Amino acid sequence: MTASTGSQATLTERAAAPGRLELPPAELGLTWRALHAADADAILDLTARSTAVDKPMSTPSPAQVADAFDPARTTVVDSLGGFAPADGDDEASLQAVGVVYLPSGDTDVVRAFLTGTVAPEWRTRGVGTALLRWQVGRARQLLAADGRNLPGRIATYVDEHLTERRLLVTEAGFRPKRTFQEMRRPVSGDPLPEIHLGAGLRLVNWSRDLDDEVREAHNEAFADHWGSQPMSHDSWRRVNRELEPRWSKIALARTADGGEEVAGYATTSRHEHTWEQLGFSEGYTELLGVRRPYRGRGLARALLVAVIEALAEDGIDSAGLDVDTVNPSGAHHFYERLGYQRHGARTLYTIEI
């Protein structure tokens, strides 16, 4: 049987996965192996060392690192760590880490995301290039193994100020796809607008019994957003792992039968591990959405105002979120009118398959 060509080629064929994946060469000075749950503290230590130099817009929390090795996860994850003794230490410690993960639930495009870092003292030696080469090869293998005839995407986010990382990924064949602007506003900033909910609408705090309905509402609300794929239970749990119920607001609408349904939502996290680096406390709104039948009623504004008011009640300094800079609805202008200002951006770089 001959291989398919053109638009008929399967993802398995288009992925061009290497049959044998080579580890980074030994002459780089590191020994390599897959990472496990027992390496969580070492990953966090390496992240802290890199963060002190890179000042990234976000860093993984201990809970997020532990989650990557949770045996109950449905997300496909593979990893590689490079080890060598630190200065003045005989015992090998983690100096480089690369992770590849495929979210569960993708229906229109199968995505493989890459994350990783190299200890500052091990940079400019070719370690990052070799590690990224392994990640791309492993991503191709995992995409090929998926088996569905869908578009594929290998993706990684790069903060706008990390010029060396940007050069690294572009040299590896990645191209900028979309830029997401991080925005925040002081909780004690400009006065908030008064909110008047329409008849049959009310706001409540997030609760566990509403969670799956909120997830389904999110999948519906974001079905027309670029790059969005349905969130499985596992993906939803991972994104909202550090959700703070008091800061997460749900808009409920009365239905014709006298019941209620989710009309909109704002899930907000408490990422306390970032506060020292930021220099202030913050509630970060991960997801904000309104289902199509309820748009045009000011619900998104009402949800965010309620979030900011809840942060103020708890003495939190800042409200943060991010937004697609090419959102056709001009969402960043909506946030600006609520007092949010730009504080950096990250670009999604991809290899489309």
125-135 pLDDT per residue, tens:
999 999 999 99
The percent of residues above 70 in pLDDT, for the chain, comes to: 95
The reported pTM is 0.90
Cα separation, 308 vs 314, whole angstroms:
10
pLDDT at 85: 85
The pLDDT confidence band at residue 145, using thresholds 50, 70 and 90, is: very high
The distance of Cα 126 from the centroid of its chain, to the nearest Å, equals: 27
C-alpha gyration radius of the chain: 22
Closest alpha carbon to 58 in 346, 309, 350: 346
Residue 342: in which H helix or E strand, if any? strand 341-352
For each of the domains in the chain, give its residue range(s) and CATH number, in order of start: 6-173 (3.40.630.30), 182-345 (3.40.630.30)
pLDDT at 5: 41
Q: What are the angstrom distances between the C-alpha of 315 and each of 77, 280, 282, 293, 308?
A: 37, 11, 10, 35, 11
- The HSE-up count of residue 345 (CA atoms within 13 Å, CB side) is 16
Tens-place pLDDT, residues 6-50? 457 899 999 999 999 999 999 999 999 999 999 999 999 999 999
Using an 8 Å Cβ cutoff, are 16 and 143 in contact?
no
Closest alpha carbon to 202 in 272, 127, 260: 260
Closest alpha carbon to 134 in 30, 238, 12: 30
The pLDDT confidence band at residue 329, using thresholds 50, 70 and 90, is: low
Q: Which tokens is 273 given?
A: 């591990």
Residue 73 reports pLDDT greater than 90: no
Cα separation, 226 vs 119, whole angstroms:
34
